Amino acid sequence: MNTDNVNQNLPEIMKSLTKITHLIIDMDGVLYVGDKPMPCLKEFFAFLRERSIPFILATNNSTRTPQEYVKKLAGMDVKVSPTEILASGQAVARLLAREYPSGTRVHVFGMPALKQAMMDEGFVVADENVKLVIASMDREVNYQKLKTATLLIRGGARFIATNIDPTVPSEEGLLPGTGSMIAALETASGEKPKIVGKPEPTMYQLAMEQMAAQPSTTAAIGDRVDTDILGGQRAGLTTICVLSGSSSRVEAEIGKADYIFTDIADLLHAWKNELRSH
């Protein structure tokens, strides 16, 4: 088991896992890869519940609803509530609902889960006379959809992107991600979108707000240095990189993650060891 703490220069107060009171956890590559749960997944959540450590599972992926994540995790013997899930679609909707009145018309370039997220916050999803274009991953993208969104943005609708992850890992290799779709819209419209997902700190801030958490005692756990870890650093959190997904140890070290662990089993082991030695 590898339990090395890479950043020996952190102030003493931040160096201990036992100081963490709240967690914001990425899902894909951290809790599972595809449909395969990580080792000790169940034990990890049992530990958090037992220690009363509140958490939010935060993902840039906007293609599933919170209920679908609850179901996916239930299939791995882990019980979470929909309110413990924050996907980028929910983050966008929640954020924009503070700025725009209920009933504001928006166009959604994305999957049904994103449309649902916008409607849940009182927005009306439409294809014309819209104030906003919300763009994300659309697995059924075609020229007509690109055309509609482009013309609406060119016509003055504000351009919002859930995230800009360039690729999605899969068994077949790296596939086009949300960022690839956003790039097409950006090129065609000549406009840069406002980005909400990681590495922007927004999702972490929303999650902290929801838990009434302080950055000084909150940690972000993720497998991607350029989104999860960078976003966590921008939000002022302790960052924990696990090597069970996208980023390598070298990338995690260059990205100055506060902690680097092989996977959540390794993190759990180190955390329990620290508690024992306290």
Residues of the shown chain interacting with Mg ion in the complex, contacts defined by CB under 5 A: 26, 28-29, 223, 245
Alpha carbon distance 114, 123 (integer Å): 11
Candidate list 28, 223, 258, 263, residue with the active-site label? 28
Ramachandran angles phi, psi of 24, nearest 5°? -120, 115
User: Is 26 assigned a catalytic role?
Assistant: yes
Residue nearest to Mg ion (CB): 29
Q: Least distance in Å: CB of 240 to Mg ion?
A: 13
Q: Which residue lies nearer to Mg ion by CB, 65 or 227?
A: 227
Query: How far apart (Å, rounded) are the C-alpha atoms in residues 190 and 187?
Result: 5
Q: How far is the CB of 228 from Mg ion (least distance, A)?
A: 6
C-alpha distances in angstroms, 159 versus 15, 102, 115, 259?
Answer: 40, 19, 15, 36
Q: How far is the CB of 27 from Mg ion (least distance, A)?
A: 7
Nearer to Mg ion, 29 or 193 (CB): 29
**In the complex, what is the shortest distance from the CB of residue 187 to Mg ion, in angstroms, rounded to a whole number?**
27
User: Which residue is catalytic, options 26, 138, 165, 258?
Assistant: 26
Question: What's CA 167's distance to the chain center, in Å?
Answer: 14
Cβ proximity to Mg ion: between 251 and 274 the closer is 251
Instruction: Tell me the two tokens of residue 91.
Output: 């983050």
In whole angstroms, how close is the CB of 59 to Mg ion at the nearest point? 7
Rounded least distance, CB 116 to Mg ion, Å: 22
- 58 or 152, CB closer to Mg ion? 58
Q: Which is nearer to Mg ion, 34 or 75 (CB)?
A: 34
56 vs 153, which CB is nearer to Mg ion?
56
Three-state SS sequence of 7-45:
CCCCCHHHCCHHHCCEEEECCECCCEECCEECCCHHHHH
DSSP labels, 207-249? HHHHHT--GGGEEEEES-IIIIIHHHHHTT-EEEEETTSS--H
Beta-carbon count within 10 A of 105 CB: 16
Cα distances from 12 to residues 15, 16, 17, 18, 223, in angstroms, run 5, 7, 11, 12, 25
Considering only CA atoms, which of 198, 182, 68 is closest in space to residue 136?
Answer: 182
Catalytic sites, residue numbers:
26, 28
